[in-house]
Structure 1
């Protein structure tokens, strides 16, 4: 309808006609409405939108011109790097590790606590580390003594030893640590290995390298025999380490994790320790360890201090 008029009551089911200004009130009678040409109605609707778009374009040009001096300055400076990045989930952690190792050109330092690795973990490690070896990147890795009894881990070591790879072991290690080219380090943020931190602050990375070097000097090359201390009163070096952790209040699971062994092996050592000290209960064992003087040599060792 482009001419004539229509009663208001007749468009109750089509309010959009008024909303789009396709009808306007009859100046002679408010109960009636007259049609508006669609081209005119559309122009009336579009005009404020076009004006708003024009204003926003003008503002964007002014904003760009205002920021132009700052953009020129930032182009001369190196791009900022996040000092600490939180990586959540195994996929994101592995992606960040893969990128860092792919970019690595000189040296990788790693600390890998725990015992033998599963076949799947070793397969992933080979896929990531083999290209490093082929590029001539040097690698130094710290494991715990218990990996010496892991056939799978030793097979992985045999493959990697064809490159510039050095491996040493310690009885106890700190948490997992990976450092690439002294520029980026990765450390776990949770025990479940589902959250990690990517560290790029030079001061943090330098400090972690010092921690690694301290452990490296104390560690034993994998191809050499571990210089276990002779048993004193029937107590081996491993049982001595367990005794220290027991006195500190650690439970069996925590002790096993720190020494890189399974819980069953840990409990077997605790049983032998109890037998050597003549203990009949777990509570009595802690008391007998303290009374035996077993840990006094550690307290008297050079450089020992109560301070952290």
Structure 2
């Protein structure tokens, strides 16, 4: 569990037990109070009792001049406190991965004499084996890495891992092209991540819908998940399969919007936004809310809020009627 960096352990606080969550899932009340504290410079201790997570995560600290008030910890300080141990752990794991790669280098040289058809597709079971294969492919990548990354929200650990991986590649002169969903444009963590690579070696674009993750290194090896929990993946080294996946990537890349181009979500004359248009298309195809949210990179609650706005705009009173009204409205003709 997360512990306070400067205010003690709050596990005995009854209020804490009523809404436990990780800092990456900061509750709405916590977000509101922290933002208000940053705007005003302080917040009454009594007001903060509704969100004890703010003290647990060291986002507030006692006012030295008045015990009845709390002052906000600057976001830059709070973020640095959280990222520092993650960065150390990632550096240690990366060193371990390099050592393992050196151990297996003689065997890799033997297998590099030719990939047999029976070994052109390898099943990787478990995150440790998947990450080890990805680390090795990253170490060997020399020209270009193509990645498709659905879902804009990522845990801090994965954001830092991606940052370290991309920095290593860029420093080695490798070009990186990454596709996100449009919702990535509203993720402060993702935008801050992208700002780390403003030298042109790494390019980021967004598109309305992505189905699943994909990583391709130097047109020689590709990785795709084959289970929803991402505990099993395929390592593909068959030239025909890798070439096909590259064509799929280029097809999506050509239709994507550079992340620096601003938001692609604009309201059409009929009052339907582009994101609602994408949701409407998936609704008509018969997808449930959870599947739509996953494909568009948003949480289910946000997806349902968009569906409600869509129903209101079309005057729908039921889910069945909404599908009919979408088909009758002609909004899907925008794709043609």
**1:104 and 2:141 are equivalent in the alignment:** yes
Residue in structure 1 matching 2:214, options 167, 177, 195 = 177
C-alpha deviations, 1:1-42, integer Å up to 9, x for none? xxxxxxxxxxxxxxxxxxxxxxxxxxxxxxxxxxxxxxxxxx
Q: 1:242 matched to which residue of 2?
A: 279
* C-alpha deviation, 1:160, in angstroms: 2.9
Q: 2:47 matched to which residue of 1?
A: none
Q: 2:270 matched to which residue of 1?
A: 233
Q: 1:208 matched to which residue of 2?
A: 245
Stretches of structure 1 that go unaligned for 5 or more consecutive residues are 1-74, 302-308
Q: 1:48 matched to which residue of 2?
A: none
Residue in structure 2 matching 1:80, options 109, 115, 135 = 115
**1:159 and 2:196 are equivalent in the alignment:** yes
Q: 2:296 matched to which residue of 1?
A: 259
Q: 1:61 matched to which residue of 2?
A: none
Structure 2 contact 166–176 (Cα < 8 Å) conserved? no
Stretches of structure 2 that go unaligned for 5 or more consecutive residues are 1-109
**1:274 and 2:274 are equivalent in the alignment:** no
Q: 1:95 matched to which residue of 2?
A: 132
Structure 1 contact 134–163 (Cα < 8 Å) conserved? no
**Length, aligned pairs only:** 224
* C-alpha deviation, 1:116, in angstroms: 2.4
Q: Secondary structure at the match of 1:120?
A: helix
Q: 2: distance between equivalents of 1:279 and 1:80?
A: 57
Q: 2: distance between equivalents of 1:147 and 1:296?
A: 26
* C-alpha deviation, 1:104, in angstroms: 0.6
Q: 2: distance between equivalents of 1:267 and 1:195?
A: 30
Structure 1 contact 107–139 (Cα < 8 Å) conserved? yes
* C-alpha deviation, 1:228, in angstroms: 4.0
Call closer, same or farther: CA 1:79–1:294 in 2, change over 3 Å: closer
Q: 1:128 matched to which residue of 2?
A: 165
Residue in structure 2 matching 1:117, options 133, 154, 158 = 154
**1:287 and 2:333 are equivalent in the alignment:** no
Q: 2:223 matched to which residue of 1?
A: 186
Structure 2 contact 121–238 (Cα < 8 Å) conserved? yes
* C-alpha deviation, 1:217, in angstroms: 0.7
Q: Secondary structure at the match of 1:295?
A: helix
Structure 1 contact 136–163 (Cα < 8 Å) conserved? no
C-alpha deviations, 1:236-288, integer Å up to 9, x for none? 11111111111111111110110111111111110010001111111211121
Q: 2: distance between equivalents of 1:211 and 1:80?
A: 24
Q: 2:94 matched to which residue of 1?
A: none
Q: 1:26 matched to which residue of 2?
A: none
Q: Taking structure 1 as the reference length, what is the TM-score of the superposition?
A: 0.69
Q: Secondary structure at the match of 2:260?
A: coil
Call closer, same or farther: CA 1:219–1:297 in 2, change over 3 Å: closer
Q: 1:305 matched to which residue of 2?
A: none
Q: 1: distance between equivalents of 2:179 and 2:334?
A: 26
C-alpha deviations, 1:156-204, integer Å up to 9, x for none? 1111334611111111113111000110000111111111000000011
Q: 2: distance between equivalents of 1:80 and 1:239?
A: 46
Q: 2: distance between equivalents of 1:116 and 1:163?
A: 24
* C-alpha deviation, 1:208, in angstroms: 0.6
